[in-house]
Structure formats: C-alpha cells, structure tokens
Amino acid sequence: MTLERPTAIAIGTGDGDDRVAAETALEQRTSAQGRVHLLRTVGLLAALGALGLCILLSIAVGAKSIPVSTVWAALWDFDNASYDQTVVFELRLPRTILGLFIGAALGLAGALMQALTRNPLADPGLLGVNAGASAAVVTAIFVFGITSLTGYVWSAFAGAGLTAIAVYFLGSRGRGGATPIRLALAGTAIGAVLQGVIHGIIVLDDYVFDQIRFWQVGSLVGRDMGLFVQVLPFIAIGIVIALFLGPALNAIALGDDLAAALGARINQIRAITAVAIVLLCGSATAAAGPIGFVGLTVPHIARAIVGPDQRWVLPYSAVLGAILLVGADTLGRVVLPNGELEVGIITAFVGAPVFIALVRRKRMAQL
C-alpha cells in the first residue's frame, strides 16, 4: 500500500499538468482567434470608412467645380432652381449609388467564381456571362432596333441568364456532373462563340457599332435612378445569397470528397452559387456594360488581407469592389482636361498593375 500511494499521487499530478497545459493551449488558441477576428473586423470597418470617403469625393468631384456647401445643400435641402445642386443630385448622386452597388456586385461575383472553380484567375467573364450579356444587347439593337438603356438592361440580363444556363447544362453533361474544370471550359467555349457573333454583327452594321461602342467599354455616364431601381432587386438578392455562402464555400475548398463527408450538398451549393453569380454579374453588366478587372483583382486583395476564409473574403470583396469602381469613376472625371475616361478603361489601368503585383508576390512566396 505504501508503495502504491506515491505512484498514484505522481499519476494524478501528471494528469493535472496535462489538463492545465491543454486548457492553457485552448485559451491561447481562443485568444489568438479573438485577436484575428478583431483585426479583421477593424479592417472591414476601415474599408467601410474608405468607401464613405470615396462616395463623398464622387459626389463632390467632377468636371465642374462645385463648393462643398452646395454639395451638402443638394443632399439635405435640394433646390431645383440651382444648377449646381441639380448637377449633384440628378447626375453625380445616381452614378455614385449605381457605382457603389455595381462595384460590390462585381467584387462578390469574382470571389464566388474563384471559390466555385478553385481557379485564382477566374472572373465573371469565365462562365461567358459578360459575353452573353453583350451578345444579347448587340442582337437587340441589330434585330429589334432597341437603343434605350432600359432595353439594354433587360436584353443584357436575359442574355447573361441564358448563357449561364447553357454553360451549366454543357458543363454538367457526362459522368461526374458539373465540375469546376468543365464549367470553366464550357464557359470559355461559349464565350468565344458569342464574341465571334458580336464582332460579326458589328462589322456588318455600322449603326450597331455606333450604338454599342460606349456601352461595351463599361460606363456609368448617363445612368439615372430609374435604371438603378430596375437592377437593384437583382443585385440585392445576389448580394444576400453570396454573403450567406461563405461557410459552404469553405467546405467546397477542402475538396469534393471531404466536403461531402462533412455533409455539404455539393451540387446544390454550386447551383446556388451559379445563380448568385448570374444575378450579380448579369445585373451589373446590364446596367454599366462589361467592366473588367474588378472581379479578377478584388478577391486577391481581399485574400491577401484576411486569408482564404470565405466568410471574410466575401464581405471584403464587396466593399473593396465598391471602393475600386467608385474611385475609378471619380478619377475618370478629372484625369482629362476636356472630357472624361470611361470607368471600364480606368479599372483596366488600375487593376492590371495591381493584379500583376499580386501574381509576382505569390510567385516569390513559392520560391
């Protein structure tokens, strides 16, 4: 008995030390996760602050110099007899609001596309959505003579939806269903065919070329609140769906087999993600034309800040996309002495160097 007591005490002490060590490690891990969560929250709030500043600059800055007091009066005490206030309220404010939502939609669409296909070079054009929208607008002008922005919106949205359905149908044929590679290949093939149709019609008809050239570059010029109201329901639904897809996309990132073992309904998640992409990219393209590099670049910046967790990548992509588009639109108004550059041109000039820098950074990290 006397020989067993010290042994029992020693064992008990060892178990207690292990328990204390485990509890300490758990507390440290919880504390580290809390700090990461706090930093990401602070970063998101800072991004929202930067977005607020971009919105104010977009409303206040333009080809015509307008005092800040007049801008403030236009927002809170509008006088339709004042020309400057009319410029702010009827021209700058609508395009700022539309740019805000379109930028958020394109950023989210790009993040969803890259998560769905597990391809870091994917953007909303990969599924042929942009090509489908453009082909529908060109066809509407060529066949039906439609020239109004409202007609462009509904034609483009219908084209984007039909193209996405066709891509999913082709990509899901055969064994294995709609895999990321099949969807990407189907989207690329259909997009190439539609681009050929677009170029063929433009070459044959000068009138179509004159009508489509400004829309196809990507622009917020001339967009009013009526246009925003038409696309808002689609963008809002797409944003809500996208923000709730974070946990499901995290599971898919682990691979199909492990995701299925964790209880994820892979095909259902892919279908819902594809619907969100069509709503976001289709409505954004319909309202402003095919704007490039926002959906490609913004998710990379978001992942560089918060890592691969889609629960954070998606909201960051929405905010950063809005910052990029609103900021690019504001810059385009003042970069030329007489006139302005379309926002699609500015995003290409800004987005391409940022994307190249991100690619070089990742390549150096792998060496």
Across 341-355, average pLDDT: 82
Residue 25 lies in a domain: no
Do the Cβ atoms of 239 and 108 come closer than 8 Å? yes
Residue 295 lies in a domain: yes
Q: What is the pTM of this model?
A: 0.83
Pair of tokens at residue 205: 């008809």
Domain that holds residue 137: 100-366
CATH number at residue 261: 1.10.3470.10
Residue bearing tokens 């070079």: 121
The predicted-structure confidence for 33-91, as pLDDT tens digits, reads as follows 778 888 989 999 999 999 999 999 998 888 777 777 878 887 787 777 777 788 888 88
Pair of tokens at residue 267: 């095909």
Residue 185 lies in a domain: yes
Q: What's the structural domain count of the chain?
A: 1
Residue 323 CA to residue 335 CA, distance in Å, equals 18
Residue 69 lies in a domain: no
Neighbour count for residue 293 (Cβ, 10 Å): 23
Considering only CA atoms, which of 121, 63, 123, 114 is closest in space to residue 88?
63
Residue 62 lies in a domain: no
Q: Taking the alpha carbons of 334, 336, 339, 345 in that order, is the dihedral positive or negative?
A: negative
Across 247-260, average pLDDT: 81
Q: Determine the Cα angle at 35 with ends 34 and 37, to 5°.
A: 65
Give how far the C-alpha of residue 106 lies from the chain's centroid of Cα atoms, to the nearest Å.
3
Amino acid of residue 328: A
Residue 5 lies in a domain: no
Residue 317 lies in a domain: yes
Residue 186 lies in a domain: yes
pLDDT, position 1: 43
The predicted-structure confidence for 270-283, as pLDDT tens digits, reads as follows 889 888 988 898 88
Instruction: At 203, give phi and psi (nearest 5°).
Output: -65, -35
- Is the pLDDT score of 156 beyond 70? yes
Q: Taking the alpha carbons of 254, 258, 264, 266 in that order, is the dihedral positive or negative?
A: positive
